[in-house]
Amino acid sequence: MSQICQMCQKESPNHPITQSLISRLRSAQRVVALTGAGVSAESGIPTFRDAQTGLWAKYDPTQLATPEAFARNPKLVWEWYEWRRALRHDTQPNAGHYALAALAKHVPRLVVITQNIDGLHQLAGSTDVIELHGNLQRNKCSRENIVIERATARPTAEGLLACPRCGAYLRPDVVWFGEALPRDALERAFVESTQCDVFFIIGTSGVVEPAASLPRYAKRAGAFLVEINPEETPLSAIADVVLRGKSGEVLPEIVRRLEGGD
């Protein structure tokens, strides 16, 4: 794991800034971790924007992840989400997910704010997770915007599922481009971000709003910002500590140090 100090720009696994992070965590009352697709990459779930392997390098989001795409071709959109559900079904949380769940035992309060829809944080044991972009496993009515259990849905002639109340197609309960985020989740995310002592930015390219603004709000409110990502992002410049590595390696190391491993 290589670590770069934002103050001196030197790389060192034992740089004092690491100690300053550990001391911050030891005295922190509230910790927030904003996560993105990178945290699930080591589970085998592709990210969105990594060149070559990212989903948006292979697929056109305007054809698959917008309300217009669903109105145009609901079957195609469903095929894409059924594929992603199958992919998720075959994966497990990785060391990064487990380490975040373990970190919660070392601080009074840890809230995970995730842009991921895969539910892997919860599966790893994180109990306070704010899902900004919905959840891949849930369905909702495309007209009434209410969650519908699959067992109660009506099959349609086209091989899709319909709302038992109004007959509109069911759709995955995820946020598509051009749609608003779930209001409660977003409001809570802003409150938690502006009240925390340490704010982790993990595995996100930091280019999708409003999630990308949360670290800036946190910083303005006085939080200590820590980025964990193998690549530079637009948020690297405002981070107090940048840990250039994979979350599945860096997070367990942080927990090990917190537990007094060195």
DSSP 54: S
Q: Which of 150, 138, 145 is nearest to 168 (CA)?
A: 145
Interface with ligand OAD (CB under 6 A), residue from 102, 247, 253, 254? 247
Only segment of 6-14, 136-144, 197-205, 252-260 that touches ligand OAD (CB under 6 A): 197-205
Q: How far is CA 111 from the centre of its chain?
A: 12
Q: Annotate 114-177 with three-state secondary structure.
A: ECCCCCHHHHHCCCCEEECCEEEEEEEECCCCCEECHHHCEECCCCCEECCCCCCEEEEEECCC
Interface with ligand OAD (CB under 6 A), residue from 196, 198, 229, 239? 229
Query: Judged by CB under 6 A, does residue 49 bind ligand OAD?
Result: yes
Q: Tell me whether residue 132 or residue 161 sits nearer to ligand OAD (CB atom).
A: 132
- Cα–Cα distance measured from residue 154 to residue 157, given in angstroms and rounded to the nearest whole number: 10
Minimal distance, residue 209 CB to ligand OAD, in Å: 10
Only segment of 19-27, 38-46, 146-154, 158-166 that touches ligand OAD (CB under 6 A): 38-46
Query: Judged by CB under 6 A, does residue 140 bind ligand OAD?
Result: no
Ramachandran angles phi, psi of 256, nearest 5°: -60, -45
Looking up tokens 């009352």, which residue turns up? 29
Query: Judged by CB under 6 A, does residue 246 bind ligand OAD?
Result: yes
Query: Judged by CB under 6 A, does residue 88 bind ligand OAD?
Result: no
Q: Which residues pair with 251 in a beta bridge?
A: none
Q: Which of 257, 259, 179 is nearest to 15 (CA)?
A: 257
Query: Judged by CB under 6 A, does residue 233 bind ligand OAD?
Result: yes
Residue 133 falls in the annotated catalytic set: yes
Query: Judged by CB under 6 A, does residue 37 bind ligand OAD?
Result: yes
Q: Active-site residues: which are they?
A: 133
Chain contacts with ligand OAD (rule: CB under 6 A): 36-38, 41-42, 47-50, 54, 65, 115, 133, 175, 203-205, 208, 228-231, 233, 246-248
